[in-house]
Structure formats: structure tokens, C-alpha cells
């Protein structure tokens, strides 16, 4: 059952379903559609992340993400 869930989650159908829910996540399946208002990934300016610092600041970063991204309308 777990494998079936994972297979569905990474399928085009599963990724499209997640995109429709305003998750603001980029799909891992290249055939899946981007969610409404999502810019193409290639158009984004990406940054290198210091994983040591991120780990040390995890609580604060997660709280900020929840407050600024997850609850965005």
C-alpha cells in the first residue's frame, strides 16, 4: 500500500492534484502542471543553502515558512 501511495504521489495525476491545492510546491514529475500563479522554475533565482546553519535554525525557519507561505492566499 505504501508503494502504491508513493507511486501515485509522484505520478502526473498525483502531482497535478497537489498543485491544485495551492501547496506552492514544484512538481517532481516534469509532466505535471504548475499550480495557479506559479512561475516556471527556470525563471527563479536560486541560492545556495548552508545546511548546517539551516539545521541549527530549523524551528525558526519552519515557523516563518508556516506564517509567510503556508497560510498565504
Distance (Å, rounded) from C-alpha 3 to C-alpha 11?
12
Give the pLDDT score at 53: 97
Give the pLDDT score at 64: 95
Mind listing the pLDDT tens digit of every residue in the chain (73 residues)? Answer: 999 999 999 999 999 999 888 788 899 999 999 988 899 989 999 999 999 999 999 999 999 999 998 887 7
Assign residue 60 a region (left: φ > 0; alpha: ψ between -120 and 50; beta: otherwise).
alpha
Distance (Å, rounded) from C-alpha 65 to C-alpha 57?
12
Give the pLDDT score at 49: 94
Residue given cell 509567510 in the structure block: 68
User: What total of structural domains would you count in the chain?
Assistant: 1
Give the pLDDT score at 72: 74
Domain that holds residue 44: 2-70
Distance (Å, rounded) from C-alpha 56 to C-alpha 52?
6
Q: For residue 24, which of 12, 39, 9 has the smallest C-alpha distance? A: 39
Amino acid at each position: 500500500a505504501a508503494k502504491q501511495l508513493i507511486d501515485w504521489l509522484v505520478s502526473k495525476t498525483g502531482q497535478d492534484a497537489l498543485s491544485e491545492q495551492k501547496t506552492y510546491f514544484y512538481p517532481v514529475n516534469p509532466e505535471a502542471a504548475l499550480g495557479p500563479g506559479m512561475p516556471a522554475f527556470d525563471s527563479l533565482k536560486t541560492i545556495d543553502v548552508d545546511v548546517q546553519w539551516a539545521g541549527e535554525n530549523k524551528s525558526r525557519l519552519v515557523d516563518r515558512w508556516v506564517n509567510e507561505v503556508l497560510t498565504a492566499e
